[in-house]
Amino acid sequence: MCGIVGYVGRAEAAPLLLHGLKKLEYRGYDSAGIAVVEPHLHIYKTQGRIADLEALLTEGVPPGSLGIGHTRWATHGRPSWENAHPHCDCSGQIAVVHNGIIENYLELRKKLEGEGHVFRSETDTEVVSHLVEKYYAGDLCRAVQAAVTQLKGSYALAVVSSRHPNELIAVRHDSPLVIGVGEGEYYLASDIPALLDFTRTAYILDDGQVARITRESVAVFNQHGAEQLPQTMHISWDPVQAEKEGYAHFMLKEIHEQPRAIRQTLAGRLGVGGALRLAEEIPADFVRGITNVHLIACGTAYHAALYGAYLLQECTDLQVHVELASEYRYKRTRVNDRTLAIAISQSGETADTLGAMRKAKAAGARILAITNVVGSTLAREADAVMYTHAGPEIAVASTKAYTAQLCSLCLLAAYLQQHSQGTYDPDLLRGLLEIPDQMASIFQTCEARIKEYSWERLAAVSDTFFLGRGLDLASAMEGQLKLKEIAYIHAEALAAGELKHGTLALIEPGVPVVALATQPHLLDKLLSNLREVKARHGEVFLIAMDRQRDFSQAADEVLLVPRTYPMLAPLLTVLPMQLMAYYTATARGCDVDKPRNLAKSVTVE
């Protein structure tokens, strides 16, 4: 997710914009830019750091006191100078910066091109500058209001025009924007850290609102154009709290961002009622004729691969093979030109995943990358890419990128099913649309309880087990990895049916066992495995979905997640386990965001 800043007042805008952008650097970005009005539009952009942008201004900054700025985290179009914001209209008089995703940008672009507009970038954002140009008839705010009626998706926008040297237009729709109040000046930002050095008084725009900001005043309008009274608030956060939006750690913030991350993953790919749109990213020809699929990944992404393999086995007749990338690289693999190799990686830079992907490619496989980082090595070398759109993940432990990978794999499974069988399971995709709200309800109903359990039980133990069957096994593996990597507690994930083949020997009184029970056809089997644990006085924390069932004989504690289609349950059950790992780690005083011996991207073998 990108960063927006803006300024209108009496001071020179450019240094203030750069200062604000620097405060957003922690969020991660691949390019940056500013536009200053004086009297024409002056645009400075770079595919690089803010320092590179500053270097462009060493010759002297334009003295204008109106401007906008942006740090870009690529979503549509690779990181490049052309794709960096701000984006202009044909006349070069209107400049726009944007956070979020315009879902219908391809249709809009086609239409605008047909009307003679000339595009210079691959971004979804550029349609906004041309739409504003199209609707402009002397009133910039009205033109923006008309333009946004055409947009589908999520967006925060800041717009300036050289024809309106005292006017900054801001729009918020599912992507935050805050207006900082100064003395005869206003600041605009997508994130509070960018404001803190200038002011502590702000208006928080509500969804659907458009603001017309001049150095004298702010006028706020709702989506129907009616003027509304903006509410000011005092910001009491210190700069470090502000970067984390008030959360104690980035990991907790990112865990809570999952409803939004899933909405972004689905944006433009799933219409109302579950209509699937993936053909632009993964052309039909690319998947035609495939007979077998190899999924390759490491760590958390490997657990997503296990989930994907299970789904593909259930939904298609393809032969599915899933393997850790570090193993795949050095094994005999049966790859041919009918193999689809799916490499999954948050960073797109993991050395083992890249090595495995190159091996499959050299043997003739078609390569599909599922990654969060646009322009990463994996994305560049793959034949097709499906971006997860989870936004930058700053905590080392992967959370929102994982659920975004699961969501992408659901979409992909339905797509491949459609190609191989001519139809797909509509319940799977309909259920996916409900996942963001269901995730949000888990935070409301379960977080306090998980915190208590983690602080009072898990934090003091040295060994734990995570059990599941079928799809729940992949989730159990992810749950145990999270606990190990950030709380430094030994954890082992097992197929529940395997317990009796040896590991039961380690179940002693009080040993915590986290179990997952979401797959109806495996529930009875799982519960009998849990009774084996209870018979040895192991302590079972059960995460389940079925409200009719009595779990009292099999578990000490039961946490119910919202009911969903069983194949989607892993998108929900992982949340309590992420929270468990997080609260256990904080209780033990661990450095949650930077756990020992783990890097955000593992670029060595």
Q: Which residues are catalytic?
A: 2, 600
Smallest distance, Å, CB 417 to ligand F6R?
25
Please report whether residue 298 would count as binding ligand F6R according to CB under 6 A: yes
Q: Which CB atom, from 20 or from 299, has the smaller least distance to ligand F6R? A: 299
Whether the Cβ atoms of residue 534 and residue 485 lie closer than 8 Å to each other: no
Place of tokens 């393809």: 318
CA 65 to centroid of chain Cα atoms? 34
Q: Which CB atom, from 123 or from 405, has the smaller least distance to ligand F6R? A: 405
Binding segment toward ligand F6R, per CB under 6 A, in 140-148, 177-185, 346-354, 564-572: 346-354
Find the binder of ligand F6R among 46, 129, 145, 398 (CB under 6 A).
398
Binding segment toward ligand F6R, per CB under 6 A, in 53-61, 146-154, 177-185, 342-350: 342-350
Whether the Cβ atoms of residue 461 and residue 512 lie closer than 8 Å to each other: yes
Please report whether residue 485 would count as binding ligand F6R according to CB under 6 A: yes
Whether the Cβ atoms of residue 8 and residue 16 lie closer than 8 Å to each other: no
Please report whether residue 461 would count as binding ligand F6R according to CB under 6 A: no
Please report whether residue 354 would count as binding ligand F6R according to CB under 6 A: no
**What is the helix (H) or strand (E) element at residue 543, kind and residue range?**
strand 539-544
**Nearest Cα to 377, choosing from 357, 403, 394?**
357
Please report whether residue 353 would count as binding ligand F6R according to CB under 6 A: yes
Please report whether residue 602 would count as binding ligand F6R according to CB under 6 A: yes
Please report whether residue 301 would count as binding ligand F6R according to CB under 6 A: yes
Q: Which CB atom, from 133 or from 349, has the smaller least distance to ligand F6R? A: 349
Half-sphere exposure of 41 (CA within 13 A, CB side): 25
Q: Which CB atom, from 277 or from 596, has the smaller least distance to ligand F6R? A: 596
CA–CA gap between residue 189 and residue 173 (Å, rounded): 14
Please report whether residue 62 would count as binding ligand F6R according to CB under 6 A: no
CA angle 65, 31, 186 (to 5 degrees): 25
Smallest distance, Å, CB 90 to ligand F6R?
40
Smallest distance, Å, CB 399 to ligand F6R?
8
Q: Which CB atom, from 79 or from 100, has the smaller least distance to ligand F6R? A: 79
CA 512 to centroid of chain Cα atoms? 31
Whether the Cβ atoms of residue 343 and residue 380 lie closer than 8 Å to each other: no
Please report whether residue 367 would count as binding ligand F6R according to CB under 6 A: no
Find the binder of ligand F6R among 175, 346, 564, 586 (CB under 6 A).
346
Smallest distance, Å, CB 600 to ligand F6R?
7
Q: Which CB atom, from 157 or from 476, has the smaller least distance to ligand F6R? A: 476
Q: Which CB atom, from 254 or from 281, has the smaller least distance to ligand F6R? A: 254
Binding segment toward ligand F6R, per CB under 6 A, in 28-36, 210-218, 227-235, 297-305: 297-305
Question: Which tokens go with 111?
Answer: 């239409």
Find the binder of ligand F6R among 154, 162, 339, 347 (CB under 6 A).
347
Please report whether residue 326 would count as binding ligand F6R according to CB under 6 A: no
Please report whether residue 300 would count as binding ligand F6R according to CB under 6 A: yes
Binding segment toward ligand F6R, per CB under 6 A, in 153-161, 185-193, 339-347, 495-503: 339-347
Q: Which CB atom, from 271 or from 355, has the smaller least distance to ligand F6R? A: 355
Place of tokens 């256990």: 584
CA–CA gap between residue 66 and residue 94 (Å, rounded): 13
Please report whether residue 388 would count as binding ligand F6R according to CB under 6 A: no
Tell me whether the omega of the peptide bond preceding residue 86 falls within 30 degrees of 0, making it cis.
yes
Strand partners, 137: none
Smallest distance, Å, CB 145 to ligand F6R?
41
Q: What string marks each residue from 5 to 24 as x (binds ligand F6R by CB under 6 A) or -?
A: --------------------
Find the binder of ligand F6R among 345, 403, 518, 519 (CB under 6 A).
345
CA–CA gap between residue 379 and residue 374 (Å, rounded): 7
Please report whether residue 584 would count as binding ligand F6R according to CB under 6 A: no
Whether the Cβ atoms of residue 533 and residue 499 lie closer than 8 Å to each other: yes
Q: Reading across the β-sheet that carries 292-297, which strands appear in turn?
A: 319-324, 292-297, 339-345, 366-371, 384-387
CA–CA gap between residue 18 and residue 11 (Å, rounded): 13
> Which sign does the torsion angle of CA 283, 369, 474, 1 carry?
negative
CA–CA gap between residue 298 and residue 285 (Å, rounded): 28
Q: Which CB atom, from 397 or from 590, has the smaller least distance to ligand F6R? A: 397
Please report whether residue 350 would count as binding ligand F6R according to CB under 6 A: yes
* Residue number closest to ligand F6R, CB atom: 299
Smallest distance, Å, CB 402 to ligand F6R?
7
Q: Which CB atom, from 155 or from 307, has the smaller least distance to ligand F6R? A: 307
Please report whether residue 258 would count as binding ligand F6R according to CB under 6 A: no
Question: Which tokens go with 275?
Answer: 């209509």
Q: How far is CA 157 from CA 2, 193, 239, 392, 600, in A?
A: 11, 18, 24, 19, 30
* H, E, C per residue of 83-150: CCCCEECCCCCEEEEEEEEECCHHHHHHHHHHCCCCCCCCCCCHHHHHHHHHHCCCCHHHHHHHHHCC
Smallest distance, Å, CB 396 to ligand F6R?
6
Find the binder of ligand F6R among 64, 153, 299, 470 (CB under 6 A).
299
Smallest distance, Å, CB 301 to ligand F6R?
4
Exposed, middle or buried by CB within 10 Å (0-12, 13-18, 19+), for 52? middle
Helices (H), 246-298: 250-256, 258-266, 284-287
Smallest distance, Å, CB 196 to ligand F6R?
30
**Count of other CB atoms within 10 angstroms of residue 521:** 9
By CB under 6 A, how many residues form the interface with ligand F6R?
Answer: 15
Q: Which CB atom, from 180 or from 299, has the smaller least distance to ligand F6R? A: 299
Binding site for ligand F6R (CB under 6 A): 298-301, 345-347, 350, 353, 397-398, 481, 485, 601-602
